[in-house]
Amino acid sequence: MKFLLTILIFLFFNYCFGQNDLEIKIVNDTIKKGSYYDRNNIAYTITNNSNKTYLLILDSAKFNEADEYVVEPFFIGLPDYYVYENNTLLNPMLSFGGGSNIYSEKEDTNTKEFRDFHKRFGKTFDDYEMKIAYRISKKTITLKPKEEKTFITQIDFPYYRGRYFNLKNKSTYFFQISLQNPNEIISKYLKVLGHKGETSSIFTGQIYSNKIPLIYEVYNNP
């Protein structure tokens, strides 16, 4: 009970200060969609403005593709993205041809690395939780004080995997990304961070980037 209370207090202070300590910024000046089949690379930086070392969960391989802005435990660390028309946030819709997060990625449980991980934490997590814990251990990055790291994630409009936005051709929108590490998920899987989790601050909460223009002017719009 005392250990659990210590964890909760620790994460509470990380939540309060982490969102001010870390900054996410899109490097692109503008996103231009000129062909229906084009894909766009989104370059962004995450900067640790504090004097502390931070751990955060980030999977830059893709964006969240759910039709709602939620964080599924198995896909924690996926950056999310938002499209605005003027100052109005557009609601994404489900793309029936795109699938969804849960079907588009699977952890390989046959590797020696996963088997060793399972032996280490087999008494802590059930089989489903084990896959989440393993993924968190693989997707955790370290940001040293004042350190900045750059990432690139590819995206498509108006469809992106399981997500769809109803974009009007020859229109300008605004694009923003965020990273969310929910406290309730982090606290459950804190053990997998091991010694690093004891000596570093762990980011929990949500940070938002700047907004940049998204020019949707497609010559071959269907």
Percent of the chain residues past pLDDT 70, beyond the cut: 84
As a whole number of Å, the end-to-end CA separation of the chain is 59
Secondary structure string (H, E, C) spanning 57-113:
ECCCCCCCCCCCCCCCHHHCCCCEEEEEECCEECCCEECCCCCCHHHHCCCCCCCHH
Structure tokens, 39: 């894909």
Q: Band the pLDDT of 96: cuts 50, 70, 90.
A: low
Q: Tell me the per-residue pLDDT of 47-85, one tens digit each, with 9 for 90 and over.
A: 999 999 999 999 999 999 877 788 889 899 999 999 999
Residues contacting 137, CB < 8 A, separation 6+: 117, 192, 193
Residues contacting 199, CB < 8 A, separation 6+: 53
Q: Band the pLDDT of 100: cuts 50, 70, 90.
A: very low
Residues contacting 165, CB < 8 A, separation 6+: 83, 90, 92, 93, 157, 158
The residue count of the chain comes to 222
In which order are the strands placed within the sheet that holds 201-202? 140-143, 54-57, 201-202
Can you tell me which residue has the tokens 């251990």? 137
Phi, psi of 17 (to 5 degrees): -100, -25
Long-range contacts formed by 84-88: CB under 8 A, 24+ apart: 84/173, 84/174, 84/175, 84/176, 84/211, 85/171, 85/173, 85/174, 86/174
- The reported pLDDT for the residue numbered 107 is 62
Q: Tell me the per-residue pLDDT of 7-55, one tens digit each, with 9 for 90 and over.
A: 444 445 554 445 689 999 999 999 999 998 899 999 999 999 999 999 9
pTM comes to 0.85
**What sign does the CA torsion over 22, 24, 25, 27 have?**
positive
Residues contacting 9, CB < 8 A, separation 6+: none
64 and 156 in contact (C-beta within 8 Å)?
Answer: no
Dmax of the chain from CA atoms? 62
Q: Tell me the per-residue pLDDT of 159-173, one tens digit each, with 9 for 90 and over.
A: 898 899 999 999 999
Phi, psi of 101 (to 5 degrees): -50, -45
